[in-house]
């Protein structure tokens, strides 16, 4: 059967299919019943007709035989005509023994009934009879109509009643279950209505089905609620900062795009101002007081910013770390300046931590849309650049972005790219600046200083490329290269001039977190020799960090024989108390040139230098002063007890090729020793 025909006769509803099945069964049952009854009726009618024919034959058989014996043809015909008129007789014939015959109707070749005609022992012939079969057929047809009608009515009634029973007992409830599950309003993310059947509480298959469905619906609702809660949580975590409850970086991008779209479709009477806010001194708080204190600072900062920008219907978000971004619609640049001042004043209020007051500030970069950029990435990048310019300007201030800052960005990117090539091509150089012993004016050693001259950029200042190298991680390769080569170079000078020169090498604090430092100290051949004449110059920030990784690396290098000195002491967050705390690590303190510059005219600077020298001397730590440019500075430092000096007064940093000539000249030239150190 073709597929489309099958679909046409396919019932989609269970009730229709069951009704079809019942009707089909009833029809088959009716056919079987009617056929059985008609067959039985046919057998009964046939027996009745044949029986009546036999009775008729038996009734006239003797009279016919007598009429034939007496040759009474009239009586014979009368008897035959009487028989022929009988309903059960279709045709008959008498065949005499003498060959004569009497026939009424048409007989088949083989008659249905036969009877011999004898009289007084004489065979007079035979009687042949065909019964009336039409009588049987007509009677069967009449009975068939009655049987079919009555049977069909009865079976149809039974089928109808069964359909009603099935509908009431099964299909009605199945339809109710189907409708309940199709109605999605009954199943929501928060509640559901259980399926209830309009019938007695039977413990049958339907009850089990409903119970199972209700349990599944309940679990679906619970799953939906859990999923909604999880999706809400994911949505919150994707767009908001958990610590401060402010929008996060992902949300910033979407919000800025909405603000820019609103501006592009407005009358342009107002502008969009964006502030990139970075907390000043937050890292020091985090390192010294712990992350929990830092978290409280961030929470309080977010509260202050949110409260401030609520007055301007503005937007505040946490960009990351201690950085925040805020925006608002303003009518002019001057209004943005006023708000920037308000932000700075907001952070002038002290933070309360553990019953103590902590003072922080903030540096702010400001950009305006659309003047400073057309995309969120460009605005944020330029605001970040302006913020760093504010930090360079002394912190706790704000700067608007201007195009001159792009030059610095391009320069930094150029330096970063070219520096990588310079390291690979070994285009960096080491210059050496002498270290002078103020006690006897002898040449004590040298500080190794990296220099770089590029074909396009020319001489690049270390204060430009060193910070970039630290940010990119290239500083480790630079510092280790300077360390290895300067030690090898000074070792040759020690041999050639028979003098115990020391070498001082700058070593970035970021190197102590580099994954290659441990294996470098353990495996490099430079550490196979005695290195007690090698000093690593580190910033005071390194020794102030209470980082176990840094402490472990320092101990590893101390075991290799290296000595440590603090570079630019006094310019950061150190104090005289830290000298005592880290005396076991330090062999030398290098005072920054800011003290030397004013030491001639400033009594306070002289007093501070004297305090540093006195404390260091009590702890067997040597003191070196940087930036010596005049004899007067040298005399004052020597009189205050400073041990060593370094500066342009003696020599500028020079390439290795010029150092031997300097050594010879220094050794051959008489030097004046401070009066304080001359014998009395």
Confidence class of residue 365 from pLDDT cuts 50, 70 and 90? Answer: very high
Which residue, 449, 475, 465, is CA-closest to 416?
465
Note the pLDDT tens digit of each residue in 487-511.
Answer: 999 999 999 999 999 999 999 988 9
Decide if pLDDT at 678 tops 60.
no
* Residue 136, SS3 per DSSP: helix
What is the CATH class of 245-402?
Answer: alpha beta
pLDDT of 101: 78
pLDDT of 452: 95
Q: For the domain 14-137, what is the CATH code?
A: 3.30.450
pLDDT of 433: 97
Note the pLDDT tens digit of each residue in 522-580.
Answer: 999 999 899 999 999 988 777 666 677 888 888 889 988 899 998 877 655 455 666 77
Question: Which of the residue ranges 159-163, 238-242, 413-417, 420-424 would you say has the lowest mean pLDDT?
Answer: 159-163
Question: 65 φ, ψ to 5°?
Answer: -65, -40
Question: Which of the residue ranges 193-202, 230-239, 567-576 would you say has the lowest mean pLDDT?
Answer: 567-576
Confidence class of residue 11 from pLDDT cuts 50, 70 and 90? Answer: low
* Ramachandran area for residue 326 (φ above 0: left; ψ -120 to 50: alpha; else beta): beta
pLDDT of 648: 94
Decide if pLDDT at 201 tops 50.
yes
Q: What is the dihedral of CA 174, 180, 182, 188, to 10 degrees?
A: -150
SS (H, E, C) 389-458: HHHHCCCCCEEECCCHHHHHHHHHHHHHHHHHHHHHCCCEEEEEEEEEECCCCEEEEEEEEEEEEECCCE
Decide if pLDDT at 115 tops 60.
yes
Give the span between the Cα atoms of 172 and 199, in whole angstroms.
10
Decide if pLDDT at 680 tops 60.
no
The answer for residues whose C-beta is within 8 angstroms of residue 612's C-beta and 6 or more apart is 569, 570, 576, 579, 589, 591, 623
Confidence class of residue 671 from pLDDT cuts 50, 70 and 90? Answer: confident
Give the span between the Cα atoms of 128 and 144, in whole angstroms.
31
Give the span between the Cα atoms of 125 and 98, in whole angstroms.
8
Q: At what angle do helices 376-392 and 249-264 cross, to 10 degrees?
A: 110
Give the span between the Cα atoms of 534 and 490, in whole angstroms.
10
Long-range contacts: 301-304, Cβ < 8 Å, 24+?
Answer: 301/244, 301/347, 302/244, 302/245, 302/246, 304/346, 304/347, 304/349
Which residue, 271, 364, 294, 267, is CA-closest to 323?
364
Domain with CATH 3.30.450 in the chain: 14-137
Tokens representing 531 are: 């290195």
pLDDT of 25: 80
Give the span between the Cα atoms of 430 and 488, in whole angstroms.
12
Note the pLDDT tens digit of each residue in 262-299.
Answer: 888 877 778 899 999 999 888 878 877 788 888 999 99
Alpha helices in 70-114 (DSSP H): 73-84
Domain with CATH 3.20.20.450 in the chain: 429-596+607-628+646-673
Give the span between the Cα atoms of 417 and 460, in whole angstroms.
13
**What single-letter DSSP state applies at residue 247?**
B
Domain with CATH 3.30.70.270 in the chain: 245-402
Give the span between the Cα atoms of 284 and 354, in whole angstroms.
17
Handedness of CA 442, 448, 453, 457 (dihedral sign): negative
Tokens 């919000």, residue located: 255
pTM passes above 0.75: no
Note if the bond before 59 is cis, omega within 30 degrees.
Answer: no
Instruction: Enumerate helices (H) and strands (E) in the chain, giving the number of each.
Output: 22, 21
Query: Is the Cβ–Cβ distance between 270 and 331 less than 8 Å?
Result: yes
Tokens representing 162 are: 């069964």
* Mean pLDDT, rounded, for 12-17: 63
Mean pLDDT of the chain, nearest integer: 84
Decide if pLDDT at 677 tops 50.
no
Burial class (CB in 10 A: 0-12, 13-18, 19+), 126: middle
What is the CATH class of 429-596+607-628+646-673?
Answer: alpha beta
Tokens representing 387 are: 């913020």
Question: 300 φ, ψ to 5°?
Answer: -65, -35
pLDDT of 15: 60
Select the highest-mean-pLDDT range: 148-162, 595-609, 648-662: 648-662
Give the span between the Cα atoms of 322 and 300, in whole angstroms.
12
Decide if pLDDT at 186 tops 60.
no
Tokens representing 228 are: 């909604």
Neighbours of 523 (CB within 10 A): 8
Select the highest-mean-pLDDT range: 30-34, 38-42, 477-481: 477-481
Instruction: Could you list the beta-strand ranges (E) of 455-556.
Output: 458-460, 502-506, 534-539
* Residue 571, SS3 per DSSP: coil
Give the span between the Cα atoms of 614 and 187, in whole angstroms.
82
Question: Which of the residue ranges 4-13, 42-51, 90-99 would you say has the lowest mean pLDDT?
Answer: 4-13
The answer for residues whose C-beta is within 8 angstroms of residue 420's C-beta and 6 or more apart is 472, 474
Give the span between the Cα atoms of 478 and 486, in whole angstroms.
12
pLDDT of 271: 86
Note the pLDDT tens digit of each residue in 400-446.
Answer: 998 887 777 778 888 888 998 999 888 999 999 999 999 999 999 99
* Mean pLDDT, rounded, for 448-476: 91
Tokens representing 595 are: 């003290």
């Amino acid at each position: 059967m073709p597929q489309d025909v099958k679909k046409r006769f396919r019932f989609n509803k269970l009730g229709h299919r069951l009704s079809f099945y019942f009707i089909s069964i009833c029809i088959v049952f009716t056919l079987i019943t009617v056929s059985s009854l008609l067959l039985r009726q046919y057998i009964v009618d046939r027996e009745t007709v044949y029986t009546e024919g036999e009775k008729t034959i038996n009734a006239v058989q003797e009279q016919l035989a007598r009429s034939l014996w007496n040759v009474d043809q009239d009586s014979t015909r009368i008897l035959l005509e009487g028989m022929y008129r009988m309903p059960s007789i279709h045709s008959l014939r008498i065949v005499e023994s003498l060959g004569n015959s009497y026939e009424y109707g048409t007989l088949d070749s083989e008659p249905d009934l036969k009877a011999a005609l004898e009289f007084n022992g004489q065979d007079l012939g035979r009687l042949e009879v065909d019964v009336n079969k039409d009588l049987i057929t007509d009677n069967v047809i009449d009975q068939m109509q009655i049987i079919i009608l009555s049977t069909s009515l009865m079976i149809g009634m039974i089928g109808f009643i069964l359909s009603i029973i099935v509908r009431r007992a099964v299909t009605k409830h199945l339809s109710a279950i189907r409708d309940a599950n199709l109605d999605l309003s009954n199943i929501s993310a928060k509640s559901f209505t259980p399926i209830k059947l309009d019938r007695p509480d039977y413990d049958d298959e339907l009850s089990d089905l409903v119970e199972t469905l209700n349990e599944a619906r309940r679990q679906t609702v619970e799953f939906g609620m859990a999923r909604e809660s999880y999706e809400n949580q994911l949505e919150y975590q994707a767009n908001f900062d958990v610590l401060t409850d402010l929008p996060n970086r992902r949300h910033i991008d979407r919000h800025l795009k909405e603000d820019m779209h609103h501006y592009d479709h407005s009358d342009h009477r107002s502008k969009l101002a964006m502030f990139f806010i970075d907390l000043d001194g937050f890292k020091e708080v985090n390192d010294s007081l712990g992350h929990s204190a830092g978290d409280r600072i961030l929470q309080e900062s977010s509260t202050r910013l949110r409260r401030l920008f609520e007055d301007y219907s503005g937007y505040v978000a946490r960009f990351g770390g201690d950085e925040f971004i805020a925006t608002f619609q303003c009518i002019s640049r001057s209004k943005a300046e006023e708000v920037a001042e308000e932000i700075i004043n907001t952070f002038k209020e002290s933070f309360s931590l553990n019953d103590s007051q902590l003072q922080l500030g903030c540096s702010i970069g400001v950009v305006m849309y659309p003047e400073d950029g057309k995309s969120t990435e460009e605005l944020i990048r330029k605001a970040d650049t302006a913020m760093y310019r504010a930090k360079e300007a002394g912190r706790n201030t704000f700067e608007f972005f201007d195009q001159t800052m792009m030059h610095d960005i391009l320069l930094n990117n150029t330096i970063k790219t070219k520096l990588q090539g310079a390291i690979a091509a070994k285009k960096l150089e080491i210059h050496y600046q002498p270290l002078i012993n103020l006690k006897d004016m002898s040449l004590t050693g040298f500080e190794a200083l990296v220099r770089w001259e590029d074909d396009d950029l020319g001489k690049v200042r270390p204060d430009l490329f060193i910070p970039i190298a630290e940010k990119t991680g290239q500083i480790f390769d630079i510092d280790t290269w300077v360390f290895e080569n300067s030690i090898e170079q000074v070792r040759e000078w020690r041999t050639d001039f028979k003098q115990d020169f020391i070498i001082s090498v700058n070593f970035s604090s970021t190197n102590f977190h580099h994954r290659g430092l441990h294996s470098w100290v353990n495996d490099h051949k430079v550490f196979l020799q005695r290195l007690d004449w090698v000093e690593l110059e580190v910033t005071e920030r390194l020794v102030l960090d209470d980082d176990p990784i840094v402490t472990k690396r320092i101990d590893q290098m101390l075991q290799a024989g290296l000595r440590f000195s603090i570079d630019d002491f006094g310019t950061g967050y150190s104090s005289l108390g830290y000298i005592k705390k880290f005396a076991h690590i330090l062999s030398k303190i290098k005072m920054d040139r800011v003290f030397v510059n004013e030491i001639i005219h400033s009594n306070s600077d002289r007093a501070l230098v004297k305090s540093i020298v006195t404390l260091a001397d009590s702890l067997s730590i040597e003191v070196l002063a940087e930036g010596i440019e005049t004899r007067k500075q040298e005399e004052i430092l020597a009189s205050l007890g400073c041990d060593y000096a370094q500066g342009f007064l003696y020599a500028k940093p020079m390439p290795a090729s010029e150092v031997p000539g300097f050594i010879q000249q220094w050794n051959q030239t008489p030097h004046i020793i401070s009066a304080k150190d001359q014998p009395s």
